[in-house]
Amino acid sequence: MKFLKLLRRRSVLSELVYVGLNVGLAIAVLIIVRTVESPIPAFILVALSKWRVFAVRPRYWLANIQTNFVDFIVSISVVVLMYSVGVSSSYAFALQILIVVLYIAWLVYLKPRSSKRSVVSQAWTALIIGTTALFVSSFGWPIELIVIGMAVIGYVAGRHALTQFEEDHLQFLSLMCALIMAQIGWVFYHWVIAYSLPVVEARIPQVTVIVAVVFFAFYKVYDSYKRHNRVEPAEVVMPILFSLGIVLTLMVFFSAIPIGTL
């Protein structure tokens, strides 16, 4: 009994240390972004915080990188968004605090979970925040960088979600996700729209919303196929109609605000 109690105490202590370190990381990123007129030091801190990826034998590095790349995308995107709102919004500090709170929720709550729903949510989060950060920060970039960036986000997010299924063609489907995202990136490089958020002076790219609903529809179709060995119309009709409705509504009625005004 004493041994079990000791284990519980150590487990609780390790959890508290884990939470404290992650909260400290998020706060440190905020402090650096607000005190240094460059996001590069914050990028370096985020990269250094992922040292455990390489704390194994070199032959496991690639597997660890693939497993943790979603977290890296989210973390880098958080820095980009913190820096972007800091130079473009009069509500900068409030927005940065909100981003920090959401980042802490990612680090402490969502990231450590391993259920299928949680892992898919991790991929979806990386897809959304990664796309947002890319388009918010890339105004004036050459199209090649946008396409490559979207392809990387698509590959990483797609692979992360697909690992929760017994998929024999994981690499092929991950590359297909990369191709689809690259094509979306090419299209929206020429058709870049952003929507103002209420109250605060911030905008969200149209492509982020479209990528989010497209991922949602694809996931529902794929999940139905994997569970039933065929696509059940009753399970996918509403998600597909919902996604198409959102995309068509945005493209037809809400396509008038150029992101160049960010």
Tens-place pLDDT, residues 58-110: 888 888 888 899 999 999 999 999 998 876 666 778 889 999 999 999 999 99
Adjacent-strand bridge partners of 258: 193
| pLDDT at residue 261 in the model | 40
For position 9, what pLDDT does the model report?
58
pLDDT for res 199: 63
What integer pLDDT is reported at residue 130 of this predicted model?
A: 96
pLDDT averaged over every residue in the chain: 86
* pLDDT reading at 145 higher than 70: yes
How many CB atoms are closer than 10 A to CB 32?
21
Task: Report the predicted TM-score, pTM, of the whole model to 2 decimal places.
Answer: 0.87
Q: Which residues contact 117 (CB under 8 A, 6 or more apart)?
A: none
Helix/strand number for the chain, H first, E second: 9, 2
For residue range 153-209, what is the model confidence (pLDDT) as tens digits? Answer: 999 999 999 998 888 889 999 999 999 999 999 999 888 787 777 666 677 888 999
Structure tokens given for 94: 């409030």
Q: Tell me how far apart the alpha carbons of residues 103 and 85 are, in angstroms, rounded to a whole number.
A: 15
Place of tokens 């037809």: 252
Residue 147: what pLDDT? 95
Q: How many C-alpha atoms does 165 have within 13 Å on its Cβ side?
A: 23
Q: Who contacts 138 (Cβ-Cβ below 8 Å, separation ≥6)? A: 145, 146, 149
Give, for 22, the enclosing helix (H) or strand (E).
helix 2-35
Residue-range domain boundaries for the chain: 1-112, 114-262
